[in-house]
Amino acid sequence: MQSRTAFQSKTVVTDLVLPSETNPLNNLFGGELLARMDRAASIAARRHSRRIVVTASVNHVAFNRSVPLGSVVTIEAKVSRAFTSSMEVYMDVWIEDRESGESIKANEAIYTFVAVDETGRPVKIPELVPETDLEKQRFDAALRRKQLSLVLAGKMKPADATELKALFE
């Protein structure tokens, strides 16, 4: 199976924040952003694996900055590492300043997707080759995050989480 680069999975989704998508402070509702990120990440995971993909886990979301009504929001999603059937997708969220046109980083998120066959059974996917320094950084940390996610989901014993243990030794 031929390996693919992170760039080959790159998915950029740009959309507006409308009144029906905001909270009482007129900022984007968190669940709406989660859904938009899920869509962008699933496209990136599909581009990497070229298979049906399902969301296995939302590993990390940081709502560092509120996103006001009327904002232009851009989500950039890329697969950061591929394992056997699962992929970590890293997302950066930007909002565009109306007057300057400058992009301001608003949020970050990491989701895990699993490639499956028509019956929903996990299938093998190509390896991912990171190219830039940032892609390499994210690739290196992805195994640690996978182990943490599996431990939190009760799917891995903490004693088997070698990458996590190494952090504290």
Ligand X SMILES: CC(C)(COP(=O)(O)OP(=O)(O)OC[C@H]1O[C@@H](n2cnc3c(N)ncnc32)[C@H](O)[C@@H]1OP(=O)(O)O)[C@@H](O)C(=O)NCCC(=O)NCCS
* 150 contacts ligand X (rule: CB under 6 A): yes
Residue nearest to ligand X (CB): 83
75 and 13 Cβ atoms separated by less than 8 Å: yes
Stretch that binds ligand X, among 45-53, 84-92, 96-104, 158-166 (CB under 6 A): 84-92
CB closer to ligand X, 136 vs 144? 144
Residue of the chain from 57, 71, 80, 107 that contacts ligand X (CB under 6 A): 57
Stretch that binds ligand X, among 14-22, 82-90, 98-106, 128-136 (CB under 6 A): 82-90
Residues 53-57: contacts with CB under 8 Å, at least 24 apart: 53/87, 53/113, 53/114, 53/115, 53/116, 54/113, 54/114, 54/116, 54/120, 55/111, 55/112, 55/113, 56/86, 56/112, 56/113, 56/114, 57/111, 57/112, 57/149, 57/153
Beta strand residue intervals within 63-125, DSSP E: 72-82, 86-96, 103-116
* 55 contacts ligand X (rule: CB under 6 A): yes
Stretch that binds ligand X, among 1-9, 24-32, 52-60, 61-69 (CB under 6 A): 52-60
155 and 114 Cβ atoms separated by less than 8 Å: no
CB closer to ligand X, 22 vs 112? 112
The least CB distance from residue 168 to ligand X, in Å, is 21
Q: Can you tell me the distance from the alpha carbon of 142 to that of 138, in angstroms, rounded to the nearest whole number?
A: 6
Stretch that binds ligand X, among 28-36, 62-70, 83-91, 135-143 (CB under 6 A): 83-91
* Interface contacts to ligand X, rule CB under 6 A: 54-57, 83-86, 112, 114, 116, 120, 122, 146, 149-150, 153, 155
